[in-house]
Amino acid sequence: MTDPVLDAIRRRRVVRSMTDEPVDRSLIESVLDAARWAPTAGNRHLQRYLATDDPDTLRILRAVSPGMIQRPRAAITICVDRRLAQEYGFGPAAPGPLIDVGTAAATMLLAAHALGIGAGPVTSFSRAAAAVVLDLPDGWSAEMIVCLGHPAAVQPAPIGARRKLSWRDLTRWAPAAAR
């Protein structure tokens, strides 16, 4: 028996080359709706999203994002509402809000895959410039950009390791506790 969720996890890929075809706004909204179901620290939902499909905004955002090798037709910037995080007692270096960014991004990448659109995360960008380009509200900090678009037929070779790693390559079992 094949589980569709596990199958999607195995088949999803980062899309680094996208076509010029626009992404339908309803698909972007479906990705955003999926993100709200991602697990969060204490179910507090401190992450916020700034979505754009405006070509000029995307062009400028790409100019301040060296990690954005794809030319997306839409982008969702995952932000942390730092003021709200502080109200909940999270300090500036608390990991919880950033973990929430990761779970939101993973959920968005899987949702995009399920909807038949390509997606790729970007963390290499000027946070200060992105805040200006996107006109982020006070207190929001941009933490990750999820690029969306229709995958091009030919994709660049993956960056990094060439061999497929198994879970065994990545895992070490803890020793049994002393009794």
pLDDT digits (tens, 9 = 90+) for 66-90: 999 999 999 999 999 999 999 999 9
pLDDT at 15: 84
Burial of 64 (C-beta count, 10 Å sphere; 0-12/13-18/19+)? middle
pTM of the model: 0.90
Rounded distance, CA 46 to CA 139, Å? Answer: 11
Rounded distance, CA 88 to CA 38, Å? Answer: 19
Q: What is the pLDDT of residues 97-118, one digit of tens each?
A: 999 999 999 999 999 999 999 9
The dihedral of CA 5, 6, 10, 16: what is its sign? positive
Q: Does domain 7-153 have CATH number 1.20.1250.20?
A: no
Other C-beta atoms closer than 10 Å to the C-beta of 107 total 17
Rounded distance, CA 105 to CA 49, Å? Answer: 11
Q: What is the pLDDT of residues 9-31, one digit of tens each?
A: 777 888 888 999 999 999 999 99
One-letter amino acid for residue 7 of the chain:
D
Let me know: does 55 contact 72? Beta carbons within 8 Å: no
